[in-house]
Structure 1
C-alpha cells in the first residue's frame, strides 16, 4: 500500500559538503529534508528508493551509498549513511549509483534507519514503449499488499533549460519542464496520462533523469486519488530541481498539504 511518494533532486550537490565550502541549494535541500522527514514520521514498513542507475536492478538488502563516483570525498559530507547504506563496503556488497546515494543520504539525515529497497533504472530509448509499461508494472508491484510503503524518487528535469544549463540549450526544454511541473501539481487522471505519455526520446534529448522514476510512481499510484504538493522549485544552473510529493487522498500524513503554483526560474 502506497502511503506517500516524495520526489527529490538527484544531484550530488543536494548533500551538504558536496560543493566544498560553497553554499548551494540551501532552500531545495531544506525542503527535501522536511518532506522526507514528514514521510518517515508516518512509520512505513519500508522505504523504496527509485533512482537512475547504470543498469536495471532491485536491491532489497544492503547497498553502499557513496558520492565518490561524482568526484566527492565522502568524508567531507555533512550527511552520513547509516546501517545498510554506510560507506564501508564488503566484498560482495553493491555500490549505489550517485542518484541513489543522494536519496539514501537524505533518508539517513531525515532519521530513517528501517528497511529500504533500492530500485535503479536504466531505460533504453530503443525499447522505450515497453520500458515505460515495465516501469509502471514495477511501481504497482512495489506497493502491492497491505504494508505501508513510502517511495523516494530521485531525478531532475531538463539539463538543457536556458543558457546556464550544463548541456547545450534546447528550445523544447522550457515548455517540457513547465508542462511536467504543471502535471505533477495537478496529479489528476489527465495529468497522469500526459506524464505517462512523455516520450522517452524527448526525455533523453533533454537529459531528464526524472522520466523513469515518474513511470514507477504512476504505476504505484494507479488510479488512486492523490493530494499533490510542489514544495520547492529552483533552477540555479539551468537544471530545474523539484521537491514534490503525492499522498493518497485516503492516507494523508499529518502536515502541510497545500501549496501554490511554482514556476521554473533560471
Structure 2
C-alpha cells in the first residue's frame, strides 16, 4: 500500500451507508404496513449498493444493541429476536445455520448486504448508548485501521413523533431530528462536531437509536474529507427513519 505523504491522514473509511434500524425493512415483517417503508427499503438497498461499489477491502456493520459485543466472520441474520420466524420473511435468511445471530438491527444490515450481492460482513460491532462517546470514537478509528473499509451504520432518529409513535410524543423530537438529519446529509467538519456534541442523555430520552453508531462513524471518519447525501426520510407510525451515504474524498463510485 502506498504510504500517505507526511501530515496527511490516509482515509481508511472508504464510504458508509447509514440505514434505519427497523426490522420493517425486511419484507414479511410488516404485513399490511409493508407499503409504509417501501421507499426507505429501496433507498437503503441503493445506499448499500453504492458504497459497496467502491470496492473496499473490508465491510463492517455498526449497529445499536442492548449490550456491546462484536462478531468476526459469518453471522446468521435471523429476525427471531423481533418475533418474526425466518419462514415468514420475504428474503432468504443469510448466513450458516450454526453461525452466531446478532441483534435485530445488525441482522437488518446483513440482510441488506446479502440483497446487494455481498457476503457476510467481515465484522459486526454492536454498541450501546451508555458507552462513553470517547470510547465509541476510538472504536471507530480502530475499526477502519486495517485497510479501506466500508461501514453499514444502522440507527434511526427519534421514535417520539405524534400519537401513533412507539413511545410518547415529545415536542423536542422534531428539532433534534432536523439538526441531526441536516448534519448527517452534509458532514462538514462543523457538522461532525455538532453530531459529536449531541448529548447521549437527550438521544436516549428521545429514543434516537443512531446516537452510538454515529459516534463510531465519526471516529472512523476523523481526519477525512467526507461528502454526504440524504437518500430518503420518513416517519412511518411515528418513528423517524432516514437513509444517507458518506463518501470520503476520491472514493465515490
The TM-score normalised by the length of structure 1 is: 0.86
Preserved contact between residue 45 and residue 115 of structure 1 (Cα < 8 Å): no
Tell me the matched-pair count. Answer: 241
TM-superposed deviation, 1:123: 3.1
TM-superposed deviation, 1:249: 1.8
Between the aligned partners of 1:98 and 1:33, the Cα distance in structure 2 is: 17
Between the aligned partners of 1:123 and 1:186, the Cα distance in structure 2 is: 23
1:6 equivalenced with 2:6 (yes/no): no
Structure 1: gaps (5+ residues): 254-266
Between the aligned partners of 2:56 and 2:91, the Cα distance in structure 1 is: 22
TM-superposed deviation, 1:21: 5.0
Which secondary structure does the structure 2 equivalent of 1:196 belong to? helix
The TM-score normalised by the length of structure 2 is: 0.91
Which secondary structure does the structure 2 equivalent of 1:95 belong to? coil
Preserved contact between residue 40 and residue 111 of structure 1 (Cα < 8 Å): no
Between the aligned partners of 1:216 and 1:186, the Cα distance in structure 2 is: 17
1:225 equivalenced with 2:225 (yes/no): yes
Structure 2: gaps (5+ residues): 1-11
Aligned equivalent of 1:56? 68
Between the aligned partners of 2:32 and 2:182, the Cα distance in structure 1 is: 35
2:85 alignment partner, one of 73, 96, 102: 73
Between the aligned partners of 2:177 and 2:29, the Cα distance in structure 1 is: 26
Aligned equivalent of 1:261? none
1:105 equivalenced with 2:116 (yes/no): no
Which secondary structure does the structure 2 equivalent of 1:23 belong to? helix
Q: In the TM superposition, what whole-angstrom CA distance separates every residue of 1:31-84 from its partner, at most 9, and x where no partner exists?
A: 1111111222222222110001121112112322111111112112122233xx
Preserved contact between residue 7 and residue 243 of structure 1 (Cα < 8 Å): yes
